[in-house]
């Protein structure tokens, strides 16, 4: 299982890493060819998400599938199960992120009130929070 720092380094934009983090990343990528390939594929996918470009998506799926890295192959299988949604996420400027955020906040408020009060208090807290 990768460490939190390694995960952070792999998912961060390279230009936002300080010198020490860049050196750590360089050492990680040089320790094994699979690590370097994984880093390249993760950065390519992140760039597609940031720029919402779908042009290289099929080529990326092929490279990830052929990489022989079990975690990436599993990720590709998950993407292919819901490819229409991923395509929409890469091409459309709209998302349900705002709705998901509100639902998450509502669930948090609900969890905070477990065992303390009934529906009237929950209703008041929700109305004041949203």
pLDDT tens for each residue of 25-49: 788 778 888 888 888 998 999 888 8
Whether residue 85 is found in the same domain as residue 103: no
Whether residue 81 is found in the same domain as residue 110: no
Domain count across the chain: 2
Range of the domain at 73: 4-91
105 Cβ contact list (under 8 Å, min separation 6): 129, 130
Whether residue 125 is found in the same domain as residue 78: no
Residues of 16-54 as b/e, b for ≥16 C-beta within 10 angstroms? eeeeeeeeebeebbeeeeebebbbebbebbeebeeeeee
Whether residue 65 is found in the same domain as residue 117: no
Taking 70 as the pLDDT cut, the residues of the chain under it are 1-8
Question: pTM for this one?
Answer: 0.66
């Amino acid at each position: 299982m990768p460490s939190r720092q390694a995960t952070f380094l792999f998912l961060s934009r390279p230009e936002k890493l300080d010198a020490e983090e860049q050196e750590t990343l360089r050492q990680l990528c040089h320790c094994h060819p699979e690590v370097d390939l994984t880093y390249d594929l993760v950065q390519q996918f992140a760039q597609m998400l940031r720029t919402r470009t779908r042009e290289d998506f099929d080529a990326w799926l092929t490279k990830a599938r052929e990489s022989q890295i079990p975690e990436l192959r599993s990720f590709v299988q998950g993407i292919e199960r819901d490819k229409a949604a991923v395509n929409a996420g890469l091409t459309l400027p709209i998302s349900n992120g705002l709705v998901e955020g509100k639902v998450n906040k509502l669930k948090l408020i609900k969890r905070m009130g477990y065992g303390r009060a009934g529906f009237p208090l929950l209703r008041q807290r929700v109305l004041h929070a949203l």
